[in-house]
Every structure is written in structure tokens, then in C-alpha cells.
A and B are shown apart, each in its own frame.
Chain A
Amino acid sequence: AQTVTQSQPEMSVQEAETVTLSCTYDTSESDYYLFWYKQPPSRQMILVIRQEAYKQQNATENRFSVNFQKAAKSFSLKISDSQLGDAAMYFCAYRRSGGGSQGNLIFGKGTKLSVKP
């Protein structure tokens, strides 16, 4: 069974600084998708960034970028120029390619990010 591990329960960063959140996963599949979701205190689950396993190029979305290391099964999230609004729980998630029973997301336990002014 696939698993997702986030080894940092909490992280803290100074405003305007850069922080990296770690995520590792375990799978025997070669084709899959990885996601980072943000959950602020409002509880809403917000997609931050997505990576297709077949793509070697790391995904970027404005201040958010990933370091995807397929062989190491690692998928870290880098937040540059951190802002107060980035404070939230961040969840790493895995999804097998295909539909049906493979369609659901498997989540890590989350990393709580605090941003200090």
C-alpha cells in the first residue's frame, strides 16, 4: 500500500524568508501524481502545487516550487518570500494514475507552518 510521510509536524519561518517542507512517499507504481495542499484556519483545502511523476521538470507556482526526486521518492515544497498568509497546515498527497479505486488521495499527516513577522 502506498504511504506518505511528512516528518516535520511543525515548522517556523521568518516573513520574507524561505522554508522547505519535506515529504517522502512509498509506492511501487511508476505513474502517479503528487500534490501539496494548504489548509488555513478557515479549514478550506487549497491546492498549492501539483507534480506528474512522468515529468522530470519540477513544478513551480509563483513563490511555491517543488523538488521532486523520483528515485528517492521525495517531494519537498519550497516557499520563497514567505508571507503571513502562508501560515497554515500543509499536506502532501499522493494519487495513483488511473481512475476507479486508484482515484483517491493518500495524505501525509501534515506540517503546521508558522510565519513570524
Chain B
Amino acid sequence: DTAVSQTPKYLVTQMGNDKSIKCEQNLGHDTMYWYKQDSKKFLKIMFSYNNKELIINETVPNRFSPKSPDKAHLNLHINSLELGDSAVYFCASRRTGEETQYFGPGTRLLVL
């Protein structure tokens, strides 16, 4: 009965590779988010999707491309991975009209 799930939980890869992180929520929410938590634990918004449409795109390199095939899924694809991409990536979701965001367990990405 997991509410927001992410796969994989851990991802170790080499510089220059392309990788994807998947997020799914079974809460019936219509807005989903990607946050990045850096090595100093600072959390910052990357993307937000509402009903499969991008509504926030912070100053994120275009190597990062979110894709939302439907309201329940928001995937994050990263091209040409760099050392600085090492972080924990959190997916979150929310229902319009409600204020609480529910977070996934996070994906720890390590780029070597």
C-alpha cells in the first residue's frame, strides 16, 4: 500500500552515462514534483507537473528531462551524468486543493 514509490532506491553509475529514475503514486494526486537533496542536505525543487503538464522548471540543466506518461507517474531522465549530479532525488505528490505533499523514499544517485 505504498503511497509514493521510487525506483531504484540506489543508483551507482559512471560519468557520462544516461540514467532514469521512476516515480509512481497511488494516491490519486494530480501534481507531482522532483526535488534534489545535495550533500549538505539542502532540498530544492527541480520540476513540477500538474495533470501531465510541466508547470515548474527551475534552473536545472537541460540534461535533466522529466516525463509524465500519466498523472500517476513522473520519471526523471538524466543524460551525460556528471559528478555534481550525485545527490538524493525525491519525488513528491499532492492533490490540488490540499496542502500536504507526500514524499517518496528517495533515490540516492552516486556518479563516479
Is A62 positioned at the interface, with any CB of B under 8 Å from its CB?
Answer: no
Q: How far is it, in angstroms, between the C-alpha of A110 and the C-alpha of B50 when the chains are bound?
A: 28
Chain B residues with CB below 8 A from A33, complex form:
99
Q: How far is the CB of A100 from chain B (nearest CB, A)?
A: 5
Contact of B105 among A43, A52, A89, A100 (CB under 8 A): A43
Known A-B contacts A33-B99, A52-B99; the reply to A103 vs B94 at CB < 8 A is yes
Instruction: Tell me if A50 and B99 are in contact (CB < 8 A).
Output: yes
Stretch at the interface among B12-20, B40-48, B65-73, B75-83: B40-48
Instruction: Tell me if B45 and A44 are in contact (CB < 8 A).
Output: no
Size of the chain A interface, CB-CB below 8 angstroms: 24
Known A-B contacts A33-B99, A45-B103, A50-B100; the reply to A101 vs B56 at CB < 8 A is yes
Chain A residues near B (Cβ < 8 Å) = 33, 35, 37, 39, 42-45, 47, 50, 52, 89, 91, 95, 99-101, 103-107, 109-110
Chain B residues near A (Cβ < 8 Å) = 31, 33, 35, 40-45, 48, 50, 55-56, 88, 90, 92, 94, 96, 99-103, 105-106, 108
